[in-house]
Chains A and B, each alone.
Chain A
Amino acid sequence: MKALLDIISLVSNIFTIGASAIALYLFIFKREKINTAFTLLLNYSTQLTLSELKSKLDRLNHFNANDKEQKEEVINILHEIQGQTKGNKFLNENLQIIIDRIEGFIDNPKLLSEPKKRSLVHELRESIRNLDMDSYNKIAKK
């Protein structure tokens, strides 16, 4: 009985050593690859958010902020944009300034006119385009 337990114990130790060796190997030699895979995953989620933001910009173009009822819809979409951006750390940091401006309009819809909306849409579109290039460059460099 004891011999059996000893054998099982030995086999289990061998497997444990093997598993630790694999973990060490991966950590030492494959760390870059694991890092890249993880970064790609995070980037993918950011990319998804960016493309959703782009479609919100197109919806913003549909509504005229000079019209009272349509302005409500514009403010709703701005709210969506604010929420979605706040949920992503990378975007939140990089779009801080323009999000502050959006929040200003959400709090004070009277300040929003159609020309101001167009400026906002254009600026947001350019910022998103720059962020897109940034994340692409980061992946490409790796």
Chain B
Amino acid sequence: MKIIQAINTMIENEKKISNVIQTETELFFTYNDKYKWSLVNNDNNPKEIFLHFYAKDKRSIEELSNIKDWSSQNYVTYKVSDFKTQEAFESFNELLQIVKSKIFGVDELLDDLISGD
């Protein structure tokens, strides 16, 4: 249940989202330089979004993004379908959009564009 509050806190403090790495299937990112996450969404099922939490994992986010075999890894998974409420979906989705916009520093490029550099 706390995860929804956690997601909305990350949205509120989006400047603390960093190190966004896009792999074939997932979006890895770090929050506040200590919490490591990844997001997965499926175009076939736009209403479902997975959020994996690599709690207490000492490896860097880069290392995590290179892992191919997840069968022996430890992580916690949260998904929209666990909650089935509108506020849960909007929370997951807004986080996804924010993280997407930070890939490759797209966010900063757009800031430049907007300020007319």
Contact = CB atoms under 8 A, between A and B. Distances in A.
Interface in B6-26: 8-9, 11-12
A116 B1 contact: no
B4 A118 contact: yes
Instruction: Please report whether the interface of chain A is mostly helix, strand, loop or mixed according to DSSP.
Output: helix
B62 interface: no
A70 to B, nearest CB: 14
Instruction: Please report whether the interface of chain B is mostly helix, strand, loop or mixed according to DSSP.
Output: helix
B91 A118 contact: yes
A100 interface: no
Instruction: Report the contact-size class of chain A (Cβ under 8 Å from the partner).
Output: 10 to 19
B90 interface: yes
Interface in A110-142: 113, 115-116, 118-119, 121-123, 125-126
A119 B86 contact: no
A118 B12 CA distance: 11
A118 B1 contact: no
Given A115-B91, A118-B91, A119-B4, A125 B85 contact: yes
Interface of A: 58, 61, 113, 115-116, 118-119, 121-123, 125-126
Interface of B: 1, 4-5, 8-9, 11-12, 83, 85-88, 90-91, 94
